[in-house]
Amino acid sequence: AQSVTQLGSHVSVSEGALVLLRCNYSSSVPPYLFWYVQYPNQGLQLLLKYTTGATLVKGINGFEAEFKKSETSFHLTKPSAHMSDAAEYFCAVSGGGSNYKLTFGKGTLLTVNP
């Protein structure tokens, strides 16, 4: 069984400030972890993923996330927020291997204030 908890359904930051979106997971097997972004009225776009190897992963648009097994966390960060980052962000986990089923968190809406 696997689950994802995203802390904070809504995060508001100022333009240029640090973005931190929190994700904790539960998985009975080594997880594959993903962050997806959804802009208004659009589908989901993959930001970044962790499978194996380096625990700090870099994605598109300047985002990165660090897999911390001891904390069962996969928080998403960006050093400096841009207005175009305003969107909803989803953390997801799968069991890896042939277990393709993705389990999503409930999402975090990021607002960027000028």
For residue 29, how many other CB atoms are within 10 A of its CB? 12
Write out the binding residues for another protein, residues 2-31 only, by CB under 8 A.
Answer: 4, 9
Write out the binding residues for another protein, residues 55-94 only, by CB under 8 A.
Answer: 90, 92, 94
Give Cβ neighbours of residue 52 (< 8 Å, ≥ 6 apart): 30
Q: Is 103 in the site for another protein (CB under 8 A)?
A: yes
Q: Smallest distance, Å, CB 82 to another protein?
A: 23
Task: Write the DSSP symbol of residue 96.
Answer: B
Near another protein by CB under 8 A, which window of 13-21, 56-64, 71-79, 102-110?
A: 102-110
Burial letters 76-105, b for 16+ CB under 10 A, else e:
bebeebeeebbbbbbbbbbbeeeeeeebeb
Residues that bind another protein (CB under 8 A): 4, 9, 32, 34, 36, 42-46, 49, 51, 90, 92, 94, 96, 98-107
